[in-house]
Structure 1
């Protein structure tokens, strides 16, 4: 079965009504009233960070009833990149990331202290989108007529990290502590490029 155009229009309203009816019914039950929160989470947030964020929310909001949704859906708050914020929203930075080139440990290039732009030419690479830092790097490399050799295109850092450790290609990652602690890949700075992102 495929929903027609009318069903597509009705669906978000039906979800909203269903959610409100559950809240109204809970008013007449004994026990604590749940506090429903719809939280939009971007896929590139990472499982550990999402877990830490939800733990903090749960500690701050008593009887929290959380629903995770895509950040483009109707929600009470969303975790997105700064450039994804619409004009009606207020943006508050909660993470600060430092980006470096993630390399398989067994590659010769991983022995270098600093990676130059020329080292990146034709380097087997794993694209991860969305990634603002990667977009910035590619723009600078285009001006130097340098291109990666694409080996994979994926969305989440968890999958990309596993592909790098399997020596499928290099990737541009934020230096998350859980990746550093796993000690299966090597991080190297790229010369003259600062990838600090909030």
Structure 2
């Protein structure tokens, strides 16, 4: 550097010059220290800013996820409730049908005797088809064309010389009444 670049007062003594140089040196050290502190401060601010932004982003993401999970949970609960209601309704229907079947079986057991007809002295043949024989008897003897039976069964006789009685179980009370009214 030349004197033109740096204005130096020529009246300064070397002692004063040394003092100014020390001051400039101290100022330089202070400036470097201050720049270091500012740099550290900026780094701390950036780190804090990064941390806070990360926290905010995490909070927003957590909130959105919680909201979506809540919606899905609500939908799943609604679907489960609907399935539970449908299952309960189906179970009720099955219970009702089971009760109806139970009553029907109970009534069937009770009505077996009340729907029965007894035919005595019907001769027994070797290979008889009892259903055909009874149907022919109804058509030809009682003039009833269409009658259906639940069952036709010949009971064994105690006396070997006599044919056993035939038990006819009618399917309905109407069939029984039709046979009984034709009998007269």
TM-score w.r.t. structure 2 length?
Answer: 0.23
Specify which structure has the bigger relative contact order, considering alpha-carbon pairs within 8 angstroms and separated by 6 or more residues: 1
Between Structure 1 and Structure 2, the one with more strand by share is: 1
Structure exhibiting the larger radius of gyration computed from Cα positions: 2
TM-score w.r.t. structure 1 length?
Answer: 0.22
